[in-house]
Amino acid sequence: MLEKEIEWKYAKTSRLSHVLDQYKSSHPEILIPALPVQERGCLTVMDLIGLKEKKLESMLLKWANDVYRSYDRYHSSAKIVGDLYIDEYER
């Protein structure tokens, strides 16, 4: 979603989860595990607490990119799911 610059809203999350569940059921060999804490990046959701509008938006994007970089070895699998979501809901 970051690469394609999809404007994300919380309401879209259930649709993405549905696409992910469908993909996982037909591709059980594909796993994207939770990373150990020390490999997850520097920012956490705790860094977002108490921030207001513009600052929150800026930090949220930094946090998302931090997580994105942490999971770079799984990008090829995630891209497949993201493309399926985009094909179904964003076009």
Domain boundaries, the chain: 10-90
Tokens 């610059």, residue located: 5
User: Is-contact 47 59, C-beta < 8 A?
Assistant: yes
Residue 41 is predicted with a pLDDT of 84
Q: What is the pLDDT of residues 7-43, one digit of tens each?
A: 989 999 999 999 999 999 999 998 888 899 888 888 8
Structure tokens at 52: 């207001």
What's the chain's average pLDDT?
90
Q: Report the sign of the C-alpha dihedral through residues 59, 17, 69, 87, in that order.
A: negative
Q: Which residue from 65, 66, 83, 80 is spatially nearest to 32, judged by alpha carbons? A: 80
What is the average per-residue pLDDT within 39-61? Answer: 88
Residue 75, both tokens: 């990008």
pLDDT of residue 58: 92
CA distance 44 to 51: 13
Return the pLDDT at 33.
86
The amino acid present at 23, given as its one-letter code, is Y
